[in-house]
Structure 1
């Protein structure tokens, strides 16, 4: 494989000149630049991305840690990051953390071994102290979907408490008073905060949410189905289901329909995330829009900026708020119409 020295010898220039051509540096005449590029092409030379990163102090690759590669939510997140990487001409190195401490550590360590100076990390299993230490080590370390006060200027996050409140508030406004919740069994920030928001909003209307009205399962369609089956088995009376995400909402809806419970005439359901699935449920799912692609774009831009040494205003925080998307799975019990 050709080296920089080989290029310099054949082109009859110094190593410094070859380096300037590779890195688009100044002080190289047009004729010399073209001669060096021609020799590089003839010898089949390909610049080493990591070596260039060390010379230019720019991140040659953007590391990404997400929970699951196949989950539609994380696919949308990855799509937003990829758009930024293409625009800024950097490579993406992606790994899955699986919401498990050792797997998340291994994923981040792999990116460190590849000299990633910019990282967008979705971590739910690692503790705050560990993530703060990584932020001190990696110039462009940015957390997405999580807020840690000590590195708040490096966090792009969603107000899940406000999201839970919005879900409950909408159901209350439609005349519902009997609630159940299907939530994720993983006791991480997202389900805890969303449930907190739900309780907070219901309490304003003097409505309690007993523990028996909450069922935890895997945050997917099968988990939603299992959670709803367990709730029905308890004989609980309810007209409103608040689901941790759209996948659980879809599974719960299917189980209800299989038991001849009409949605939304008999029971209303609201989801969370607004993934593509929500548009194609029948009925179409009322949900909370999670601006994940917008957040991913911001996180990637932020990570690359920090890696370049372009430090954004540290006083700025990047908090996003979910918004209600009204479709057909919630019945207005006052008017008899779905919202």
Structure 2
């Protein structure tokens, strides 16, 4: 494999000149630059990304820690990051945290071992102080889908309380007074915050939400089916179901239809996230749009910016709000 010294000898120039060409530096004539680049191509030379990053003061790679790799939501998150890294000619390194403390910590440490200084981290299991410590250690550390006041300027997050309130307000506004909720069994902030918003909206409307009308299961289609099966087994009466995410909503609709219950004529269903699945459910799913691709792109921009020694300003925060997407799975009663 050719080295920078081989290129310099073949081009008849100094090592410093080759280095300037590699890093798009000044003080190199047009013809010399052309000749060096041609020889680099002929000899198959590939610049060392980490060495180049030291010269240009820019991160050569961006690390992304996701909860899971197979979930469509996290595919959208990764795509949002990729739109930024592609523009900046930066490589993505992916690592999975699995919503477990040790796995999330190790995922971040693996990226550190690869000398990654720009990171977009989706962490739900690690405690606040551990993440604050990582933020002090890693120049381009940015959290997505989580808010920690001490590092607010490194957090890109969604207002899930407002999201829960919006979905309940919309169902109530369509005349629904008997609501059931299927939520995630993971003991993390997101389901708690969404449930808080739902409770607030229902309380404001003078509607009770007994614990018997809330079912918890895994946040996927199987979990949605199981949660709905459990609700039906209790004999509970409801006209609308508010689901933690679109996958659970889809599973719930399948279980309802398997029991001869029409959606939305008998029971309406509202999801959360607006992943691709929501458009192709039958009926098409009314849901809350989670602008995760936009948020991920913002997080990636911040991570690269901070890794380039431009540190975050105090007092900044990057909060996003979900919006209702009206489709066919909810009808007026």
SS in structure 2 at match of 1:25: coil
Partner residue, 1:306: 306
Structure 1, 171-180 or 26-35: larger mean CA deviation: 26-35
Report the Cα distance in structure 1 between the residues aligned to 2:137 and 2:8, rounded to whole angstroms: 35
**1:319 maps onto 2:319 in alignment:** yes
Which ranges of structure 1 fall in alignment gaps of 5 or more residues?
334-339
Q: In the alignment, what sits opposite 2:267?
A: 267
The two structures, once aligned, show a CA RMSD in angstroms of 1.3
* Aligned position for 2:165: 165
Distance of 2:240 and 2:36 partners within structure 1: 70
Partners of 1:228 and 1:34 lie apart in 2 by 66
TM-score (norm 2): 0.96
Alignment partner, residue 184 of structure 1: 184
SS state of the match for residue 331, structure 1? coil
Tell me if the contact between 2:59 and 2:90 (Cα under 8 Å) persists in the aligned partners.
yes
Contact residue 154 and residue 312 of structure 2 kept, 8 A: no
Are 2:87 and 1:87 aligned? yes
Deviation at 1:223, TM superposition (A): 0.3
Report what 2:4 is aligned to: 4
Check whether the contact 1:50–1:114 (CA below 8 A) recurs between aligned residues: no
Structure 2, unaligned runs of 5 or more: none
Instruction: Work out the CA distance in 1 between the residues paired with 2:78 and 2:300.
Output: 10
1:17 paired residue number:
17
In 2, are the aligned partners of 1:118 and 1:138 still within 8 Å (CA)?
yes
Question: Aligned partners of 1:278, 1:32: CA distance in 2, in Å?
Answer: 56
- SS at 1:332 equivalent: coil
- The CA distance in 1 between the partners of 2:201 and 2:134, in whole Å, is 36
Paired with 1:139 and 1:57, the residues of 2 have a C-alpha distance of 12
The Cα shift of 1:312 comes to 4.9
SS at match of 1:274: coil
How many angstroms apart in 1 are the aligned matches of 2:21 and 2:278?
51
The answer on whether the counterparts of 1:163 and 1:194 sit within 8 Å (CA) in structure 2 is yes
Please identify, of 266-275 and 203-212, the stretch whose mean Cα deviation from structure 2 is larger: 203-212
Q: Distance in 1 between matches of 2:22 and 2:249?
A: 53
Q: Report the count of equivalent residues.
A: 333
Q: Give the whole-Å Cα distance in 2 for the aligned partners of 1:279 and 1:43.
A: 50
SS at match of 1:107: helix
Residue aligned with 2:264, SS: coil
Deviates more, 1:245-254 or 1:203-212: 203-212
CA distance, structure 2, for counterparts of residue 259 and residue 43 of structure 1? 68
